Structure 1
């Protein structure tokens, strides 16, 4: 069977997209290695503290991980850019220690394009098939969020790298359904484009739901309509919208709808302080919990909320947030403020996407489920379960394997 090297700067060693692909491909007889950076994103942790070591090797659930040394960083400034450079340069040197296991396939996944460039060079070195995966459009996402100007020098460099990689890759994988539309919009050949979204390990999710129980009186309160959010609390998640909705409900005298927010991130303290200072009692920050508890937590809710900044020109290509697949698997409906192309909530009829991105629109969407007859609500729940089946990682690995074996 073929030897596959997966390059992902931020690959997790306890779950996630490339962990699951590696796990499933190894079971199918492939030889797989995952190359990741030594830094752990959004923490101060570095898996290599000895600066003289270029890499270290670990196995997680029989999955080989090659950990490439990269410097620590905080935020999104110069040090993070240098961290990306460390990883990309490190890949080119560290992989030489594994020359006796030459890869047949280099599967190089963004977020940042330096991983692609390293992957391209490695594919040339080993005469391997080169698969480039896009999980976020860089610099298109940065431009849409106003972080860089489309005509700035950094943006022009990133666009140039993007076009180069899209031309040189043997296959292009996009995690959002409109990848082909995007490639066509920049005037390139779409015949190499394949779509494989993010997903969920349903067997693991259902096991964790009944195994890892979190005692919480608020979750057990059947008199409260519980709206749940899980994940990062950053600017991109626009959780201030949820706080605004909570205030609308307070003003309307609705006391039996509460928002439970699980997670951490740079905006948590600001939001939490605002909620406390303004006596917004229907928003409760639960903090970060181990991911194994998420299935149980979601099973106790009534409605899941997906919230992002209002960027319709970016999201016209579709969505792939990891939390959406947890939400599907929970068998609870989703309300979203993210207007997007290829809307999966609409496709599977497992939720509602409100228009305009306003707090008032999101409040109306939540109230629709709050007031919904039980029979109709149960249909949404059933449809969410059905959606999850299409995104089980075993199904997604079938799709990936097909791409790996294509000429």
Structure 2
């Protein structure tokens, strides 16, 4: 048995909105007999709020699902501007380092990036406490931030590059979320032998597509095209609104957008301005409830911006859609996501930021419900064969144990 400290600013359980990758992997480590400490923030970053029980406290130690969880402060004002993001990342890096110093001495430190400052702090913690270090990279930061125009300041980029290089050098093993992330690290000089690809996957224990559908506020006979996820910088939900406008002549169709994020207020206002009565906005739901919402969907949307960055995207929500057995409409640059859709036969890929193409794909699925169901069934079968989260979690455990 080894002592493992797992550092992630964004640690979400099935009872909260968001991805549960860290929750699943840490629980798998605990089930394998390891003593697992989690260091995370108590700030609900998607809502930028602090739960009442944590207010006025800088650090709280709890036991959850057999895990020793240290929840720390980070500034809740995470937004689109660089200053608030740096404050959010920096304060968590500081308090995670304090928590890591107080927690039991680990044999292995695992850190998940983003955020990059907290990953660097975890790497330093591992060095200071004589532990091995495993780095999980879920986003090529700062490359992604630069590509999206979120970071332009040369000094900030130079600091980020230094932190990135330090994390890669210190890591005994690296886990990459996608092929694009793996290849990006290799281009930066990281040895391929150091990297293991472990994608997101289908969470079979959380829900199944044959459960009772959620009470979605749409007509009972409506054809529902649904998006479940962050209403933020990466997803091009403006394209979805454009498609909804082109679907006005399809009275039985509804577009349902479930989630929250910094772009949501402007999206709601834009839909109101256009008079899009066929668009429904819903609050974020706990991960455990996502399958029930998707059970009411007839098609699921993955809209991205027209940016080469997203050719390497393979998001968690794609696996939610596959697990629910619903066809996917991927409006994304040609890459990992579109290749998966084609290989699995689970939907349709259209060009990004093209409302007409997106509307056409939704219209085609609405006109062929039998074909849509067959695509959904093919996607679920493909996911169960290739992307079972339990099997992927076992691979993650093996990576950690290889350095313990």
Tell me the TM-score normalised to structure 1 length. Answer: 0.89
Q: After the TM superposition, which residues 213-292 of structure 1 pair with which residues of structure 2 at under 5 Å, given as runs?
A: 214-216=214-216, 218=218, 221-222=220-221, 224-250=222-248, 253-292=249-288
- Residues 90 and 285 (structure 1), Cα distance of their counterparts in 2 relative to 1, 3 Å cut: closer
Counterpart Cα distance in 2 of 1:180 and 1:203: 28
Contact 1:319 / 1:340 at 8 angstroms: preserved in 2? no
Larger RCO: Structure 1 or Structure 2 (Cα < 8 Å, ≥ 6 residues apart)? 2
Counterpart Cα distance in 2 of 1:71 and 1:79: 8
Aligned partner of 2:145 in structure 1 is: 142
1:198 aligns with 2:200: yes
Unaligned 5+ segments in structure 2 are: none
2:310 to 308, 312, 315: 315
Aligned partner of 1:296 in structure 2 is: 292
**How many Å apart are 1:329 and its aligned residue?**
0.9
Alignment: residue pair count: 393
Counterpart Cα distance in 2 of 1:34 and 1:91: 10
Counterpart Cα distance in 1 of 2:227 and 2:73: 34
1:210 aligns with 2:208: no
- Residues 185 and 19 (structure 1), Cα distance of their counterparts in 2 relative to 1, 3 Å cut: same
SS in 2 for 1:271: helix
**How many Å apart are 1:361 and its aligned residue?**
1.7
Counterpart Cα distance in 2 of 1:103 and 1:296: 39
**How many Å apart are 1:272 and its aligned residue?**
2.1
Aligned partner of 2:168 in structure 1 is: 166
**Residue by residue, what CA displacement relative to the aligned partner does 1:185-207 show, whole Å, maximum 9, x if unpaired?**
22332221111112332122129
1:60 aligns with 2:64: yes
1:73 aligns with 2:77: yes
Q: After the TM superposition, which residues 25-36 of structure 1 pair with which residues of structure 2 at under 5 Å, given as runs?
A: 25-36=29-40
Counterpart Cα distance in 2 of 1:379 and 1:404: 39
Which range moved further: 181-190 or 236-245?
Answer: 181-190
SS in 1 for 2:125: helix
SS in 2 for 1:261: strand
1:106 to 102, 105, 109: 109
**How many Å apart are 1:259 and its aligned residue?**
0.7
Unaligned 5+ segments in structure 1 are: none
Contact 1:92 / 1:118 at 8 angstroms: preserved in 2? yes
- Residues 179 and 276 (structure 1), Cα distance of their counterparts in 2 relative to 1, 3 Å cut: closer
**How many Å apart are 1:394 and its aligned residue?**
1.0
Aligned partner of 2:364 in structure 1 is: 368
**How many Å apart are 1:138 and its aligned residue?**
0.9
- Residues 13 and 58 (structure 1), Cα distance of their counterparts in 2 relative to 1, 3 Å cut: farther
Contact 2:294 / 2:321 at 8 angstroms: preserved in 1? yes
Aligned partner of 1:126 in structure 2 is: 129
Contact 2:325 / 2:376 at 8 angstroms: preserved in 1? yes
Aligned partner of 2:49 in structure 1 is: 44
Aligned partner of 2:4 in structure 1 is: 4
Contact 1:32 / 1:63 at 8 angstroms: preserved in 2? yes
1:387 aligns with 2:389: no
Counterpart Cα distance in 2 of 1:14 and 1:255: 35
Counterpart Cα distance in 1 of 2:55 and 2:325: 43
Aligned partner of 1:349 in structure 2 is: 345
- Residues 81 and 301 (structure 1), Cα distance of their counterparts in 2 relative to 1, 3 Å cut: same
